[in-house]
Structure 1
Amino acid sequence: MSAFFNSVFTSVSSAASALLTPEFWAVQWPLWKMSILTCASILVFRICYRSFILKLTTHLKERYHYDYIDSFAKAFNHPIQAFLWILAFYSFIVLSPLSPFSQHPAFDKILRSSLIICLIGGVYNLCDAGHGLIMQLLKRSNQHIDETIGELISALAHMLCIMLGVVMVAKEWDYDITAFIASLGIGAMAIAFAAKDSLANVFGSIIIITERPFVVGDWISANNVEGIVEKVSFRSTCIRTFYQELVYVPNNLLSNTSIINYTQRQKYRIQFLLGVTYSTTREQLQNVCQQIRQLCEQMDDIYNEGFDVNFFEFGDSSLNIRIVCYAKVPENTQNYALKNSMYHKIRERFNLEVMRILEENGVSCAFPSRSIYFETPIPEAVKEK
């Protein structure tokens, strides 16, 4: 470092002695002119950038609702203006006849380091406001999650920006960053061992966010808990059960268990065994099965495909008819309560129609019964009693 400052001091001294001679200014005027014009052009471009480009982004946002353009413009506004100042000064020195300065390798490193710092600064500002930008991205991907997740993502992005900027600038100045990277690795391992369970929940939440097995408002069943998802955080998922209890399930468990999402059902299944008495004749049983099939084909609230109606088995006390069909529940609503209410109404109408078919054919539903036979005749006295 001392050698660098000594070389800079020597260059400044030689340049100052050269500047004091009138011949230097007279002979080198074309180079001075070029450096001044280039510097002025860059500064004029900076003024045009502030006056027109920023107003253009605001106009695009208001007219086409491009929120992302406005967010990027605000994040990179100050870094770009600062880099234009540095570029103007660099052009003035490099194109001027100050050869000790222009030929010094430190100037190229300064320019590249400034560019890196300005780019990292723009990304840092984007992550800073990025809380809002990240939440917009998550909402547009149908992930209505707690704002604390956006804040944590923003904080992690800030840390990554700072570390990346330090590493890149150090590399430009030929500093050995191997020890720094190794220390980061050792520190990360220590943190990972100390907070193993917490990190498992964090990775579980990332899996939930990326794969989206459910969103806030869905009716799910997982880990012996069934209810409505109210909130998803980095540690746990809050589920409101149908008994109005709040259950916080760690995301690590949710990412490693089966999840049933009832809200995403495309069809609502109706399935049951219809038991009729053994006194039912074969013709009556055939007529009942055929009319129930026609009901599934003609009823507006039932899908006319995928149904199954058959005489299934001889039960202990009934002849069992297996009925399987699917109810038409509108898919344009995400309200689970409304869907369930409509499903139960459709099932009620279907059951009433099945009862009507049984009544028209003179068939009765069976109930569990048992007949007892005595091998020894019962005495008359016992019968009288």
Structure 2
Amino acid sequence: MNLDFLQQVYFGNTVELYLRFAVILLLALLLKRYISSIFTRLFYTVFRKFSSDYFGQQFKELLLRPVEGLIVTVFFYIAFYQLSISLDKVILFRRMKPVKEAGKDVPTTLVTVMDIVDHLFFLFLLFYFVLLISRLLDFIFLVLVNKAKERDDRERQQVLPLLKDVLKVIVWAFGVLSVLGAVFHVNVAALVAGLGVGGIAIAFAAKESLENLLASFMVMIDKPFTIGDWVKIGGVEGNIEKVGFRSTRIRTFDKSVISIPNRQLIDNSLENFSERGMRRVVFSVGAIYGLSVATLETTMKEILNVILKTEGTTGTPSVQLESFGASSVNLQVVYFVSVNSNVEFGKVRQQVYLGVYETMYRHAKGFAYPTQFEISGPEVNEVFPPVAQPPETQ
């Protein structure tokens, strides 16, 4: 078989080099997922002792993209390197410098296509490497936070997410400085020194962000609450989900998420209901008039039993005759709900309401409704008796 055509030269490269270029690119696109899966499994064998098999899927999802990016970047560079001889000859632009002796300009720096390929290779290589480190931090702290939840260690649940954010900022800052130095040839030492001089201006420009950041550290030190606590801040009431760099996330009882800037945690009064250990619930039930005393006492006793049997309630509940209303005999119900991460307040309250609803129809003939009666006969007026009218004269 005659393969001499492979040595034919077009635009400075042989046909064989063009075929290598195409085959390597094709292999990179076709095998990137398979190769990255292999490397991900190898990575997981190192971290398996640190975590359980339950986190295997999360590990794969977190690391698959950066590993794919690294593999494709390396394959693409190898492919373009096959054409490096011709790409080095394609000059994109040149920098000129005046030479006094000769009285003319001579080129001092030539930028070729291969130079651009080299810089892009280092740029993408550093980006995906930093992304890989960042995803590894995500996985490590995912396992640590899950272990803290199993041990019900709320302090670790609060500190670990913030520590993860700090480490990720450091990793990405190192990556940006590495790109500036290796790819764009920036003097990193001079840049850092310049940032130190301009630090005051940056501090003024990012005043609110720095206040929120310092407030987050103050919260960690003062510990007015922990993850999962039920708090009320500036009219917002719910459970603490996460304390971040800038804001704290609160999950309200209607399941919406509200982010509050951390400096407001210090400036505003904060009420931590979880420190009570229980939440008080008070409501009234209207029974119809005409029920016997025995029936009312039985109804109150059954409502009390409903509360005591409902899982999640705590303390000593009470059911008492409160007042005589316009259309009902009002019974006051007071009970307490435990405040912890395992008790959902809305569900406990709903179970109590359903039990009271069934009890009222079972023992008290239902609920009272606003009613009016028309009374026949003359109006009773003992304060101002009517004055007798004189007889009419004809």
Q: TM-score, normalised by structure 1?
A: 0.41
TM-score normalised to the size of structure 2? 0.40
The structure with the greater share of residues assigned to strand is 2
